[in-house]
Chain A
Amino acid sequence: QQPVQSPQAVILREGEDAVINCSSSKALYSVHWYRQKHGEAPVFLMILLKGGEQKGHEKISASFNEKKQQSSLYLTASQLSYSGTYFCGTELDDNQGGKLIFGQGTELSVKP
């Protein structure tokens, strides 16, 4: 039931792009994306609802492919501040009301 994130880790140089994927074997109502820096709490980035919409947040955007039950997070022209662990949290399409199941995380390191 836990969504699978890939890759597990990625190292970038400043200015490079990255894509993080989150896949579920169950039908999803929504996908949440969070970023967590070491020793801090997860911070909300964006929500994707079923319907295949795409959202943007500065140079970070995401999409949700309902047919594949997969969401992708796109980080373009990465900055040092993007470093951290990215988690997707999935809400199943079974009307359980707000419960999220988090993936294992993708550790992103941006180097100068």
Chain B
Amino acid sequence: DAGVIQSPRHEVTEMGQEVTLRCKPISGHDYLFWYRQTMMRGLELLIYFNNNVPIDDSGMPEDRFSAKMPNASFSTLKIQPSEPRDSAVYFCASSTNRVGGNQPQHFGDGTRLSIL
């Protein structure tokens, strides 16, 4: 079975540019999570969706960040305009409904983002 697919794997761009990160969750999973990982702050939850609806975006750092999930098989995380402090590894993860017990989150390989 295909796992969570993220693209691109690496992104290097200049400050001020728009960055779009993409994620395809595992088929049948109805939870999708976006995380950011840095040495200083560890693994932070930015936003998560349930059945394509954003449930909690309290981790989104500021208005420059936005996320969408137009359908069950695709989500995007956009940063506009990007800043050097946005440099990090961004992970997408998905899981199934928690009814009947908790379910593990399956992580994609991540996007390593560098803003110059």
- Which A residues are closer than 8 A to B by beta carbons? 29-30, 32, 34, 40-44, 47, 49, 87, 89, 91, 96-105
Contact = CB atoms under 8 A, between A and B. Distances in A.
Contact of A42 (B31, B44, B91): B91
B98 interface: yes
Interface of B: 31, 33, 42-45, 48, 50, 55-56, 91, 95, 98, 101-110
A20 B31 CA distance: 28
A41 to B, nearest CB: 4
A44 to B, nearest CB: 4
Given A98-B50, A99-B56, A100-B45, A44 B106 contact: yes
A91 to B, nearest CB: 7
Contacts of A87: 43
Contact of A44 (B48, B50, B105): B105
A interface secondary structure, majority: strand
Contacts of A104: 42
B107 A99 contact: no
23 contacts: A32-B102, A34-B107, A40-B109, A41-B91, A41-B108, A41-B109, A41-B110, A42-B43, A42-B107, A43-B107, A44-B105, A44-B106, A47-B102, A87-B43, A89-B105, A97-B55, A98-B31, A98-B95, A99-B48, A100-B105, A101-B45, A102-B45, A105-B42
B107 to A, nearest CB: 4
Contact of A41 (B50, B104, B107): B107
A98 B104 CA distance: 9
B88 to A, nearest CB: 14
Given A41-B107, A42-B107, A44-B105, A102 B56 contact: no
A97 B105 CA distance: 13
B18 to A, nearest CB: 25
Contacts of A30: 102
